Amino acid sequence: MNKEVRVRFAPSPTGPLHIGGVRTALYNYLFARKMGGKMLLRIEDTDQTRFVENAEQYILEALQWIGITIDEGPSVGGPCAPYRQSERKPMYKQYALQLVESGNAYYAFDTPEELEAMRKRLEAQKVASPAYNAITRTQMKNSLTLPEDEVKRRLEAGEPYVIRLKVPRKDEIRLNDLVRGWVMVHSSAIDDKVLMKSDGMPTYHLANVVDDHLMEITHVIRGEEWLPSAPLHVLLYKFLGWEETMPQFAHLPLLLKPDGNGKLSKRDADAGGFPVFPLDWKFQNKETGKDETWIGFREQGYLSDAVTNFLAFLGWNPGTNQELFTMEELIQAFSIERVGKSGTKFDIDKAKWFNQQYLKNKSGAELVPFLQKELQQRQLNASPESLVRICDLLKERLVFAHDLWNQGAYFFLSPTEYDPQVVTSKWTQEAVTVITSYAAALDKLPSLTAEQAKSTLNEVLEAQGVKMGKVLQALRVAITGVGAGPDLMQIMEVLGKQATVARIQQALTVLNSKVIA
């Protein structure tokens, strides 16, 4: 294809971005960058009843955090402005009228009561899916059944109406989807969708087709939930005379619940205690009138790079064993052909694994700001050099950045409690004797390095004829209060001789009554 690739992400500003939507945005971005094309952001705010204030700013911040750069959109402008559908309202009606004039759409004057009566009549007739379609429209109040002069009179009188698509009764609609291959739907399965509402606003179907055409979108990459609407959109392109420039479609697989049963929802996340939004979101739900708060990956301690990597693998695979990718590597490796058809489970443990790998691959110096933030909250401080050492020691054990404090608080605070399991099983008279001698030996050293700490301990153990395994965990709990952690000798070097000896002596005093003879 010689034409420049142009893709778009088109969210509605009605609440937080579900992680499935963010994945859609990411795949669009990766594809655009891989093909040297443009990424557009279009705000589809035609449903003003569900509009949420500040939602657009939230969307921009979320995409920026994930690492997606927008080439055209409300915040950056572009040759196809405006990029908010509410600001494009005047241009949609002309296309709806064009469809009416060409005989591919019609005015419908049915009242809500008349539509409800139709549904009940069809239900009474045991119709499986009651719809306003090629059959039922002949019994309704529209410009196909009413005399021309009456239609004119109703329009001139300002009587409320909608414009509906006139779907052919017997037609086969074909679509070659980039993910699913050929999709064929008989027109009898499609109802006469409303294109223009009575308030003059277009429905999603008309607005998105018109906008994609005017914005010269070449590829529509969106979620599987839009696949049933795709044949309708194909008809619109055909009826508007835009078949030659119709974008290629790619419908992405659903994100499934962790157990694989059904589509992932924000309620599933709420129940499971894991995030499905990139950022925290607090807003008033217009439908319920209640304030809602949803947890985000960023606020839960996930790194944006890790979330991006995790998202990329939710439905796509590179065809290799590589799992950790930079954004640039994802761009180079990405292809629509390697996107799967079947739904993919949302595995929060895999998201944690990605976060763990990204933290592990950072240098101690890169992790220091995360630790400093934790220390500032507690009004604690330490030298920059020791913070780098501490981060280097702890990074293998991290899942989230805040684990730097959770795993390493003992570097800054002497223990006030001691792991009871270790005390019960390892704090023996034998261990106490060795640890007492060890503290005395350390106190005689001019300074303390990890090597000195280890060699001194070996000397004490050899002199008393005790094996390392009998003492080491008890010594660790005396110094840190916990039963596991990084190399103990390295911890002692960071703490220094004075603090190490003081902690051992404190533990001996506190735990003396707990010694097991």
Given a contact cutoff of 8 angstroms between Cβ atoms, the answer to whether 134 and 187 are in contact is yes
Per CATH, domain 420-514 is 1.10.10.350: yes
Asked if omega into 112 is within 30° of 0 (cis), the reply is no
Answer whether residue 252 shows pLDDT above 90.
yes
Cα atoms found within 13 Å of the Cα of residue 346, Cβ hemisphere only: 23
Do 284 and 292 form a contact (C-beta atoms < 8 A)? Answer: yes
Q: Inform me whether the pLDDT recorded for 272 exceeds 70.
A: yes
Residues designated as active site? 266
Round to whole Å and give the CA distance between 387 and 244. Answer: 62
The whole-number pLDDT of residue 514 equals 60
pLDDT band at 2 (very low <50, low <70, confident <90, very high): low
pLDDT tens digit sequence for 360-405: 999 999 999 999 999 999 999 999 999 999 999 999 999 999 999 9
Percent of the chain exceeding pLDDT 90 equals: 87
Q: For strand 194-196 and strand 162-165, is the pairing parallel, antiparallel, or unpaired?
A: antiparallel
pLDDT digits (tens, 9 = 90+) for 293-333: 888 999 999 999 999 999 999 999 999 999 999 999 999 99
- The amino acid at residue 480 is T
Nearest C-alpha neighbor of 277 from the set 293, 261, 289: 293
Token reading at 277: 């939004």
Task: Give burial (CB, 10 Å; 0-12/13-18/19+) of 281.
Answer: buried
The per-residue b/e assignment along 359-373, b for 16 or more CB within 10 angstroms, e otherwise, is beebebeebbebbbe
Say if residues 66 and 25 touch (Cβ distance below 8 Å): yes
Cβ atoms of 23 and 315 within 8 Å: the answer is yes
> Domain locations in the chain?
266-355, 362-411, 420-514
Rounded CA separation 459/440 (Å): 13
User: For residue 86, is pLDDT > 80?
Assistant: yes
Each residue of 475-488: pLDDT tens digit? Answer: 999 999 999 999 99
Element spanning 210, H or E: helix 204-214
Q: pLDDT, tens digit, for every residue of 136-183?
A: 999 999 999 999 999 999 999 999 999 999 999 999 999 999 999 999
- Structure tokens of 95? 């296309």
pLDDT at position 226? 94
Under a CB-based contact definition with an 8 Å cutoff, are residues 204 and 219 in contact?
A: no
How does pLDDT run across 407-454, given as a tens digit for each residue?
999 999 999 999 999 999 999 999 999 999 999 999 999 999 999 999
Long-range contacts of 295-302 (CB under 8 A, 24+ apart): 295/269, 296/16, 297/351, 298/65, 300/275, 300/400, 301/355, 301/400, 301/401, 301/402, 301/403, 302/275, 302/351, 302/355, 302/400
**Confidence class of residue 39 from pLDDT cuts 50, 70 and 90?**
very high
Neighbours of 255 (CB within 10 A): 23
Question: Containing H/E element for 6?
Answer: strand 6-9
Using alpha carbons, list the distances in angstroms from residue 251 to 189, 224, 425. 19, 5, 58
| Same fold yes or no, 266-355 and 420-514 | no
Count of CB atoms within 10 A of residue 8's CB?
29
The average pLDDT across 54-79 equals: 96
Single-letter code of the amino acid located at 217: I
Neighbours of 511 (CB within 10 A): 17
Sorting pLDDT into bands at 50, 70 and 90, what band is 458? very high
Mean residue pLDDT across the chain: 94
Q: For 199-208, what is the mean pLDDT?
A: 92
pLDDT reported for residue 374: 95
Query: Shortest CA distance to 205 belongs to which of 176, 242, 235, 243?
Result: 235
Measured between alpha carbons, how far is 399 from 147 in angstroms, rounded to an integer? 71
CATH number of 266-355: 1.10.1160.10
pLDDT at 456: 97
